[in-house]
Amino acid sequence: MTAKEVVEYYSIALSKGDISTAFSYFSPDAKWHQPGNNRFSGTKTGIEAIGKMLVEMMVATQDSLVIEPSGAMMVNGNFVSCPVRFSAKSGAKAVDMNGSDLYEVTDGKIVQVWLFSEDQPVEDEFWK
């Protein structure tokens, strides 16, 4: 399976809410680099820590967090870049902006993920 296929299959499973299948594409000790200066920022290591963060994000947004591809995936060796549009609501606050997710795939598994936001201060304020 190519790096692009791994990320595509992960994304499809995640969009269907099939978390166990989505996480089957991760290495057990994967690292997720969440940007910014907010309660979710920093590096999460391992599927459990990554899963816990994603569940907490869904709880904080009353399950309104949506991440959708906004362009073609781009590949450079074992790296896959995915332009995305993400939106969510939390109480009276809302966020809706572009971002980019960068995946590193080794031996058919996602080993690292870096997220980028078009306006990190706005995203930080949303997650406070």
Distance CA(70)–CA(107), nearest Å, equals 27
The structural domains of the chain, ordered by start, are 3-127 (3.10.450.50)
Q: Residue 94: pLDDT above 80? A: yes
Per-residue pLDDT band for 15 (boundaries 50, 70, 90) equals confident
The average confidence (pLDDT) of the chain is: 94
Per-residue pLDDT band for 13 (boundaries 50, 70, 90) equals confident
* In the chain, % of residues over pLDDT 70: 100
How high is the pLDDT of residue 19? 84
